[in-house]
Amino acid sequence: MSNRPDQSTLISYLYGELDEQENNKVKAYLEENLEVLKEFEALQNTRSLLSHLEDVPVNQPFILNTDHSGFTRQKNPQVFWQRWSGVAAALLVILISVVVWQLNFEIENNELRIGFQDQKTPPAIENDPVYSIQNLQDQEEYLKMLVAEVLKEKQENELLEMQDWKSNIHNEVNALKISISQQKSIQLAQKPIPNQEMTELINQIREDNYTAMIKLLEYSNEQQKVYAQEMLTNFNDYLEGKRKKDLEVIEYAINNLKSRTDLKQEETEIMITKLITQLNEER
């Protein structure tokens, strides 16, 4: 009778799902039978090729972490009963508190009154006739006081306004007097200027303006030159830095490529050498 493992056992062995005893049996059989070993290796190789097909990354769907899923609740009777038992418990608490504190509810004249025990609310003060007459008298006195205060305040304000007005008029008259005297003194100081003096004065002003303009232009030119020089120097530094970095990147890439190429070449040479030796041996 052959101990050859069947398809099912071979597959279980391939995926490492055999118990230790069975595993050893299959292992021993494969070591002895090259044909079955080849078959097993072929299955193993196909599996290793399959491992190249990796998982594709996928974005998780937009999920709302809320508790507002109507259709879930409708279908779940437990949630329904939980909700209504909560409401019932709240009502029970209210009833117990009414009984414990002996709360008294009254509805009178469109008013809801909640009181403790059977204490009756004192009668409204507004309904007492004695109180209302006294209150009216008080209010009258208060109004009189108010009127007196307002009148007094008004008088005081009027007096203050009058004083302010007087002082303003006095100031304005003084200012007018001063301005008239100044105008008189200017009229006295003014003399007719001859034409020659006038032209000289204008020429002088022109010359002054001209020199000022030249100075300003020279100054601004110098400033511009300095600014341009600074800008060029900075740009030059930036370009130099950029060039250095680029060269570094290129150097790194070339070195990397070179080392990889060398490695590949070495591997290929080793392979060729192995093949040649194998061929020589076979001959």
Residues near another protein (CB under 8 A) are 7-8, 10-12, 15, 17, 42-43, 45-58, 60-61, 63-69, 72-73, 75-76, 78-79, 249-250, 252-253, 256-257, 260, 271
Cβ distance to another protein smaller for residue 36 or 104? 36
The amino acid that residue 242 corresponds to is K
Query: With 0-12 CB in 10 A as exposed, 13-18 as middle and 19+ as buried, what is 235?
Result: exposed
- Shortest separation between residue 19's beta carbon and another protein, angstroms: 14
- Shortest separation between residue 67's beta carbon and another protein, angstroms: 6
- Shortest separation between residue 267's beta carbon and another protein, angstroms: 9
Cβ distance to another protein smaller for residue 42 or 94? 42
Cβ distance to another protein smaller for residue 70 or 194? 70
- Shortest separation between residue 89's beta carbon and another protein, angstroms: 19
- Shortest separation between residue 28's beta carbon and another protein, angstroms: 21
Contact 220, 213 (CB under 8 A): no
Cβ distance to another protein smaller for residue 58 or 124? 58
Cβ distance to another protein smaller for residue 14 or 33? 14
Cβ distance to another protein smaller for residue 58 or 89? 58
Contact 104, 117 (CB under 8 A): yes
- Shortest separation between residue 59's beta carbon and another protein, angstroms: 9
